[in-house]
Amino acid sequence: MKYRLELTCPHCQQPALRWWQKLTLWPVNTRLCQQCHRPVTTSLATLFTLLPLASALFFIKDMQHLPLMIMIWLLAVLVALHVQLTLIPLIKKP
């Protein structure tokens, strides 16, 4: 199975950004599509990337075992990055 990144421009249907550029994209900022140079952003669904991070914080807040806390936190960060890169589509800037 191919790891499919959600980087398609809503204007021109071409790859709009590099994957690392999408990681810094939130509903409050925009980037220009590399192909058509029109502005793209992400929807409020980007907030779902905070869910694994908030869950991990809640889960580890009373833990005493630092290596386990770090492992859980890293796992949450990986899940958040995965959600942002593969599930959150780019949208036209309103």
Which letter does DSSP use for residue 58 in this model?
A: H
10 vs 27 by CB, closer to Zn ion: 10
- For residue 52, the minimal CB distance to Zn ion (Å) is 29
In the bound state with Zn ion, the residue whose beta carbon lies nearer, of 12 and 79, is 12
The footprint of Zn ion (CB under 5 A) covers: 9, 11-12, 33, 35-36
By CB atoms closer than 10 A (0-12, 13-18, 19+), residue 13 is exposed
Minimum distance, C-beta of residue 30 to Zn ion, in the bound complex (Å): 12
Shortest distance, position 61 Cβ to Zn ion, whole Å? 42
Q: Which C-beta is closer to Zn ion: that of 30 or that of 35?
A: 35
Residue pair 36/9 in contact by the 8 Å Cβ criterion: yes
Q: Are 33 and 92 in contact (CB under 8 A)?
A: no
